[in-house]
Chain A
Amino acid sequence: MEDTDEVLVARAGSGNREACRLLVERHIGPILAFATRVMGSQADGEEVAQEVFLRLWREARRWRSGKASLSTWLHRVAFNLCLDRLARRREQPIEGAEEAADPGPGAAEVVEEEEVARHVNRELAKLPERQRVAITLCHYQGLGNREAAAVMGVSVDALESLLARGRRTLKWRLSRIAGDLLG
Chain B
Amino acid sequence: MGGKEQMSLERFRKLLDCYGAESARWPAEEREAALLLAEASKEARRLREQARRLDFLLDRSVSPKPSAELIGRVMSGIPSRRASSEKRWGSGSAAALWSMRRSYAAAGAACGLAVLILWLGRGSEPPAPALSQSQIALLGTYTMPTDVLLEPSVVDLLDTLPAFGCEGSELACPELEGGLEPQSALPLRRRSLG
Contacts and interface: CB of A to CB of B under 8 A. Distances in A.
Interface of A: 14-15, 17, 20-21, 24-25, 28-29, 32-33, 36-37, 42, 45-46, 49-50, 53-54, 57-58, 113, 116-117, 120-121, 124, 135, 138-140, 142, 144-145, 160, 163-164, 167-168, 170-171, 174, 178, 181-183
A91 to B, nearest CB: 26
A14 B78 CA distance: 14
B65 A29 contact: yes
Q: Which secondary structure dominates chain B's binding surface?
A: helix
B25 to A, nearest CB: 6
Contacts, number: 111
Nearest to B65: A29
Interface in B15-71: 17-20, 24-25, 27-28, 50, 53-58, 60-66, 70-71
B78 A167 contact: no
A117 B70 contact: no
A21 B73 CA distance: 11
Interface of B: 14, 17-20, 24-25, 27-28, 50, 53-58, 60-66, 70-71, 73-75, 77-82, 84
A58 B83 CA distance: 12
Nearest to A57: B78
Given A170-B54, A174-B57, A49 B66 contact: yes
A14 to B, nearest CB: 8
Contacts of A25: 71
B60 A33 contact: no
B56 A29 contact: no
Given A113-B60, A181-B53, A164 B14 contact: yes
A37 B63 CA distance: 8
B94 to A, nearest CB: 21
Greatest chain A CB density within 10 A among B20, B62, B78, B84 is at: B78
Contact of B78 (A45, A53, A113, A140): A53
B58 A139 contact: yes
Contacts of A181: 53, 56-57
Nearest first, the 9 A-B pairs at minimum CB distance are A15-B81, A33-B63, A163-B18, A164-B17, A117-B60, A120-B61, A116-B60, A28-B66, A160-B18
B78 A116 contact: no
B19 A163 contact: yes
B18 to A, nearest CB: 4
B63 A50 contact: no
Instruction: Name the residue among A138, A168, A171 with the largest chain B CB count within 10 angstroms.
Output: A171
A60 to B, nearest CB: 10
Given A17-B78, A32-B65, A49-B70, 7 more contacts: A21-B75, A53-B78, A116-B57, A121-B61, A139-B25, A139-B55, A168-B17
Nearest to A116: B60
Given A15-B81, A25-B71, A174-B54, A140 B63 contact: yes
9 contacts: A29-B66, A45-B64, A121-B61, A140-B58, A140-B63, A164-B17, A171-B54, A181-B57, A183-B53
A49 B74 contact: yes
Nearest to B85: A15
A167 B14 CA distance: 11
Contacts of A29: 63, 65-66
